[in-house]
Amino acid sequence: MILLGRPNIHGAMSGILTTLAVGDGSQLIPAASPITLIPVKPGHEPVLGLIRSGMECFDEYRRCVDQVAVGRFALFPALS
């Protein structure tokens, strides 16, 4: 399930992607990750799939995902 906030001025929507991961036996463990949906610019071909460090688009995509927490679109409290 994806929980998203309202679109920002650029049309991007940020929030969290949440699911249940399989643990030991029949145990299901909640798991979540930040996510940002960004409109595709006309004439721009986005890079899709697994994005790895060193790829041309990595820094731009990393900034977008980091903005989820920095911009407080979702909260990730530190665990003690």
Q: How many domains does the chain have?
A: 1
* Nearest of 25, 8, 23, 21 to residue 67 by alpha carbon: 8
Distance CA 2, CA 27 (A): 22
Q: pTM here?
A: 0.75
* Nearest of 20, 26, 16, 27 to residue 76 by alpha carbon: 16
Its domain, for residue 66, covers 2-70
Query: Is position 41 within any domain?
Result: yes
Query: Is position 51 within any domain?
Result: yes
Per-residue pLDDT 10s for the chain (80 aa) are 999 999 999 999 999 999 998 888 889 999 999 999 999 989 989 999 999 999 999 999 999 999 888 888 888 876 44
Query: What kind and span of H or E run contains 69?
Result: helix 58-70
Query: Is position 32 within any domain?
Result: yes
Query: Is position 45 within any domain?
Result: yes
